[in-house]
Amino acid sequence: MQRYIVSRLGHSVILLVFVSMLTFVLIHAAPGGPAILLAPEMTGQQIQQAEKSLGLDEPLPVQYVRWLGNVARGHLGESFGAGLPVTQLIADRLPATLELVGTGLVLSVAAGVAIGIVSAVHRYSIVDHLSTGIAFFGMSVPVFWFGLMLIIVFSTTLHILPSAGAYTLGAATSVGDRLAHLALPAIVLAMANLAQITRYTRSSMLEVLNADFLRTARAKGVSGRAVVYHHALRNALIPIVTVIALAIPRLVGGVAITESVFTWPGMGQLAVDSALQRDYPMIMGITLMVSIVVVATNFLTDLSYLLLDPRVELG
């Protein structure tokens, strides 16, 4: 067990280094350069000076190794645009994004698992068809259009929910106010993931419902309800851990657009701006952080399998 964990940790770290190398090469390989070096009023000499002061005149491998060395010491460098440390810029925006992603995750997992179980138990019922419909809608709708439609309905027509920001500016902060601001963006974010979670839960539940041990339980006279909630659900929940792990990268991908639609003060806008302006340290910092989250989730998922399911053996 211990050896397995250590070796998996090692693999994760190697994967992260590989990810950072790939990102580094990709962003530097494309033609053009950081937006700050493209200002029309700059002379060739000034550009060269700026490149030198940013360390961009050195060969790529040298730049990468220096970046990696700094990361090992906890420095992600300074943003080209803002001139502030990348860690500080991320730290400022991170809580709002975590709030949104966390709510979206809880919402989509809670709703998805519940709907998935009901559809599996009442297979081919109206509820099942309806939930399949919702799942397909969630898979097929453009995120920002769905957000826009919700704003039109709930904010500009019905006036019951705010359309922008994380709280009412200038007003005293209250839980109700924050929740009201969180509602629409969290729904939009959760919708994109609901499909996958619902369908996965449904099929994993169906598989268990058809298993031999459940037929035995029924034959022994266990009531229908007890079979579902006591015997089936327990076993069906194990693969659902995977779904949560799959949902996290998707949530992170969807959050940039959701934040931009609802002008949410999180990292999304920061990420988009830094990508468009080719702010190398910022791009590297954000990519690194997201990949750490993704790789850590995968690691924890595999680990939780070992703990949750005695049938899984170390491979």
Partner 1 sequence: MARAAVGRPSAAAPFPASALARRPSRVRRFWRNPFAVVSAGYVIVMIGATAAAPLVTPYAPDRIVLGQDLRPPSAQHWLGTDQNGRDEFARLLYGARISLAIGIVAVLVSVTLGTLIGAAAGAFGGLVDALPMRLTDAMLAIPLFFLLLAALAALGSTVLNIVLVIGLSSWMTTARVVRSEVLRAVNLEYVTAARALGAGSRRVIARHLLPQAFPSMLVASTLGVGQAILAESALSYLGVGVQPPTASWGNMLSHAQNYVFASPLLALWPGIAILLTVLAFNFIGDAVRDTLSPYQA
Per CB under 8 A, 27 contacts partner 1: yes
Q: Does the footprint of partner 1 cover residue 164 (CB under 8 A)?
A: no
Cα torsion 199, 205, 207, 210: sign: negative
Among 71, 87, 94, 144, which residue interacts with partner 1 (rule: CB under 8 A)? 144
Total residues interacting with partner 1, rule: CB under 8 A:
49
For Cα atoms 130, 131, 136, give the angle at the middle one, nearest 5 degrees: 100
Q: Which of 74, 99, 102, 69 is nearest to 88 (CA)?
A: 74
Contact flag: residue 94 with partner 1 (CB under 8 A): no
Asked whether position 143 contacts partner 1 by CB under 8 A, the answer is yes
Among 214, 275, 306, 308, binds partner 1 (CB under 8 A): 275
CA dihedral 196, 199, 204, 209 (to 10 degrees): 160
Nearest C-alpha neighbor of 182 from the set 261, 260, 262, 106: 262
Span from 46-54, 65-73, 136-144, 179-187 in contact with partner 1 (CB under 8 A)? 136-144
Among 1-9, 40-48, 82-90, 284-292, the segment contacting partner 1 (CB under 8 A): 284-292
Please tell me whether residue 69 binds partner 1 under the rule CB under 8 A.
Answer: no
Burial of residue 117 (number of CB atoms within 10 Å: 0-12, 13-18, 19+): buried
Position 257 contacts partner 1 (CB under 8 A) = yes
Tell me how far, at minimum, the Cβ of 143 lies from partner 1, in Å. Answer: 7
Q: Give the number of other CB atoms < 10 A from CB of residue 4.
A: 13
Does the footprint of partner 1 cover residue 139 (CB under 8 A)?
Answer: yes
- Determine if 302 is a binding residue for partner 1 (CB under 8 A): no
In this structure, is the dihedral angle defined by the CA atoms of residues 78, 253, 164 and 186, taken in order, positive or negative? negative
Q: Does 238 bind partner 1 (CB under 8 A)?
A: no
Selected binder of partner 1 within 42, 82, 134, 295 (CB under 8 A): 295
165-224: contacts with partner 1 (CB under 8 A):
203-204, 206-207
By CB under 8 A, is residue 30 in contact with partner 1? yes
b (16+ CB within 10 A) / e for 231-262:
bbbebbbbbbbbbbbbbbeebbebbbbbbbbb
Among 36, 50, 71, 148, binds partner 1 (CB under 8 A): 148
Rounded to the nearest 5°, which phi and psi values hold at 78? -115, 145
For CA atoms 176, 178, 183, 187, the dihedral sign is negative
Quick one: 31 or 74, whose CB is closer to partner 1? 31
Q: Is residue 13 involved in binding partner 1 (CB under 8 A)?
A: no
- The structure tokens 């934040």 sit at 259
Does position 26 bind partner 1 by CB under 8 A? yes
Its sign, for the CA torsion 65, 67, 73, 74, is negative
Note the residues at the interface with partner 1 (CB under 8 A).
15-16, 18-19, 22-23, 26-27, 30-32, 136-137, 139-145, 148-149, 151-152, 156, 203-204, 206-207, 249, 252-253, 256-257, 260, 271-272, 275-278, 283, 286-287, 290-291, 294-295, 298
